[in-house]
Chain A
Amino acid sequence: MRSKLIVVIFTTVLIMAGLLIAIVLADYVPNGAGFPHPEFNGMQAGGDGAARLEHIGDLAFTFQCLLLLLIVCLATLGVAEQRRSPELWAYMGGTLLFSLFVWYQMYSGHQAFLETGTTNYFMGFPVATAWQVYGTWLGAIPLIILYTVGFRKFIFTEEDERKYEQLLADIAARSEQ
C-alpha cells in the first residue's frame, strides 16, 4: 500500500504550484518586488504595501500556510513509519498549529500597520517584524525538541540501534566468507 503521507505531500506541492501559477497570472502591480530608493543609491524601497498585496495577498497567505503544512509533513516523513504513533501525530499537529499562529500574527500585524500606519515595538523591531524574527525562528523549536528529547523514542530507538548493529554484523560476516 502506498504511504498516505507521500500523497499528502504530493497534493500539497501540487496546490502550491497552482497558487504560484495564479500569482504569476494575477494583475500586474508596478514595483511589486520593490523599486530603487529615490534618495540613496543601492537601496531598494517597498512603497505602497497595500497595493502590492491587493491581488496576491490571499494567495500568498495560503501558499505559506501550505508550506508550513509541507514542512511538518516532511519532518513526519523523517520518522520511521512504525514510530508514527498517535502521540507523534498529535505533537506534529500542535507544531503545525503553532507555526500557523506565528504566521497569522505576522501577516495580520502587517495588515494592521498598512491600515493604521502605526505599530508597537517588541525587542527592537516593529511587532509584525518581531513575529517574523523571533516567532519564525522559534516556530521550529518544537521539531528540534522532538528530535533531541524524543530521539530514543521516535528517531533512533534502542531497538533500532540493535537492528542496525545486527545489520552491520551480518554484512561483516558475509564479507569474511
Chain B
Amino acid sequence: MKRRRASFAKLWLLCLALAAVIVARAHYITDLSAFLPASPSPTQQLLVDQLRDGPASRLILIAIEGGDAGARARVSAAMAARLRRDRQFSSLNNGEPVTAERDREFLFQHRYLLSDQVSAARFSEPGLHAAILDTIDELASPVGLMLKSLLPNDPTGEMLHIIDQLERTPSPTTSDGVWVSPDGTRALMVAQTAAGGSDTDAQERAIEAVRAAFADVREPAPATGAKPLQLKLSGPGVFAVGARAKIEHAAVRLSIASSILVVTLLFAVYRSLPALALGLAPVASGAVIGIAAVALGFGAVHGITLGFGITLIGESVDYSIYFFVQSRRLPPNEASASSWQRAWWPTIRLGMLTSVCGFASLLPSGFPGLAQLGLYSISGLIAAALVTRYVLPELLPSGFVIRDVTPVGLRVAGLLRRVRQLRGIHLAAFSVALAASALAVLRLHHDTLWNRELAALSPVSAEDRNADAKLRGDLGAADVRDLVIVSGPTLDSVLSGAERAAQTLGALVDAKVIGGFDSPANYLPSAATQQARRDSLPAPAPLLDNLQRATAGLGLSSGRLQPFLRDVEAASHAPPVTVQDLQGTSLRAGFDALILHERDRWHALLPLHAADSAQAVDTARVMAALQGAELEETRVLDLKQESDALYEGYLSEAIHLSLAGVLAILVLLMITLRSPLRVARVLAPLLLAVLTVAAGLSLCGVQLTILHLVGMLLIVAVGSNYALFFDRQASVHQAGGESLTLASLVIANASTVIGFGLLSFSQVPVLVALGTTVAPGAFLALLFGVLLAAPDVSNPGPPHSGASRA
C-alpha cells in the first residue's frame, strides 16, 4: 500500500509539472476569432478575413466633443499632425486638405489613363465636339467654375469625370478646415492602423497613441463654464480592445468573487484548512491539465477558454465535497477512503462520464472556441476525478476528519419529507404538467426562441453600437453590406476582372437595380486597359486636325487649347500608372480598402450602393446579372446575411451535436444502469430542469444563443451527478446514507449556484448567458432530482431520524 501511495502522488506531481511547463509555453490568442469558423467555405473565408484583418477592421473613428468649435478644430489639427508622423497609422484623415494638392496632381497628370471615357471615338472630330460642348455646359453651371482654369488643358472634361467616378460616397461636413458632425458639435477624424484588426495588442497600442496625442494637445477648458474637450473613440479595434479588457476584467473579478464565496462555503463546511486545500486540489489540477490539453490539441489557447474553462469544470469541486462528506460517516482511516471508493466512486465516475459525453458534443464544433471548451472540460474533469479517486485518499493526513454535516442533510431531509407527502400520483402529475407547460411556452416562442444573429455573441453593448452607428453616420461612412468580389492570382487579373464586372454593374445602375458601386479599377486601371487607353490617343497632327474642325463655331478656338495638345502627346508616351504612383495620395487608402491580398490570391472588392437608401440591394438580381455575363471568379457577398448564416449554421450544428451528446449519455446510462426505469429516473429531473430554464428564459424575453446551449449541457453535466447519487442511494439501501448524500449534494449545489449566479451579474453577454442558464438549472436539477427520487430515499435510517427531531 505504501508503495502504491507514493507512486500515485509522484505521478500526479509529475503530470502537474509537465502540464505547467506546457501551459507556460503555450501560445495564447486574445482576439475574437474563437467565434469565427475554422474551416469555412471560400466566401466565408473572405468574410472572416474581412472581419479579422480587412481595411474596415483597421479603422479607428475619432470624435472630439466639448469646448468650442475653434478649440475642437485646433485640437483635431494638432492631433492629426502628430498621428500622421506615427508609423502605427497607415492613414489619418480629419478633412484637412493635406493630400488634396497631391491627389489633384495625380489625377490630373494621369487623367487620360484613369478616365474610362478615353477611347479613339472620343478623340475623333464628333467625339471632341460633343465633349467640348459638354464642358462648356459644365462651365455655365456652378460646378464648372472650379474647372475653368483647367479648360485649356482638359477641354474634354476628363478631370471632372474622374472625380465623379471616385466621389460616390458623400464626404463629411467641413468647418474651420476640419471634418465635423452635421450639427457641428463634434470634430471628426478617421485613422487607419497599419496592423490588422485581429492584432488586438497592436490595436491597443494604436488607441493608446490616439489618447496620448489628445492628452498632449488638449487645451485647458476655458474659464467660462464651457465643457472641457473630450475624446470619443469607436471602431472594430476599439471594440475588440474594450471587449478583451471587459472579458478579462469580468473573468478576473468574477473568478475572485466566486472563489472567495466557494472557499468560504467550503471552509464553513469543512472547518479545516488542510481539507480546504485538499478539496481544491482536484479542480486546480483539472484546470492546469485542461489548458495543457488544449495547448497540445489546438496549438494555441483562446482567451475565452482560459476565462470560462474553470467555470465549466466547477463540477469537479463537487467531487471532493462528495468524497469528504460521504466518507465522513465511516471511521477516519484508510479503510474509510477505500470503502468510499467501493460505495461511491462508481457513481462519481458515471457522473463524470455523463458530463464528458455532454462536453464531447462540443469537440467537433466548427467554432474553435467551443471545441476548445469541450476538450478543456473533458480533460479537466477526467483529471479532477482521477485526482479525487487516487490522489486525495493518499494525501489525507491520518486522523483527518471534517466537521459532521449530517445536521445539514437532516434539516434538508426534514423539509423534503413534507414535500414528499405529495408522493406518487401528485408528483407525477406535477412533473408532467410542468414539462407540458414548459413545452407549450417553448412552442409558443418557437419562432423567436433562438437568436440567429452573430451580433448576439458580440461583447459590445447596444449603447456602444449605437454610438458607433452615429459616428459612422456623421462621417458618411455607413456600413457596407453588399460587395461584389473578384478573385484572381495577380493584382492585375483582379483589376481586369473588376473592369469586366463594372460593365455589368453599370448596366444595373442604368436599370436602377443598384444606385452605384466603387471599384479599385477606378483608382488603378488594369495594365491592358491603360494600354488600350494610351493607344487610343491620336498623334499630334490628326488630333490638331480633329480639334480644329470640332471647335468650329463653339467659341473656343483651338489656338487656346495648345496645352491640351501637349498633354495628350505626353500621355501617349507616359509609362503606365502603378500602385507606387498612388503613394502619398489619399487615393492609396481608398485603393487599399478595396483590395485584399492573402498568400497567392488577390481579391478586388466592389461595394454596392443601394438605389434607394431605405432598401437593401437586390443581391439575387446582381448575382443573376453577373452569372449571365459569365464572369469568372466573381461573386456577390451580403456581409450581414452571410455572417448571420454562418452563425446560424453553427447554432444548428451545436443543437444537433448537443442532441447527439444527450443520446450518448442515454446509451451510457443504459449500459451501466441496465434498467430503463432507472435511466428514466436519472434523466427525468435533468430534462425537466433544462425545459423549465429554457421556458423561463423565453418568458423573460431572452433569445437563446449558442452559449445558452452550452449552459444547458452544463445543467445536464452537473445535474447528472445529483440524479445518479439518488439512484445509487435508492439501489444500495445504505442505512443513514441519505442525510449525508443530501448534505454533500446541497453543498455542491450551493457552490455551483454561487459560481454561475455571479456570472449573471457580469456585463459580458456570453457570461450572462451561461450564468442565467446554469445557476437556476443546477438548482432545479437538484430539486427535481430529490422530488423524483425513488421512495426509499425518503426514509433515513433510524439512528438519524431521532437526531433530526432533537
Are A and B part of the same complex?
no
Q: Which residues of B contact A (CB under 8 A)?
A: none
Q: Which residues of A contact B (CB under 8 A)?
A: none
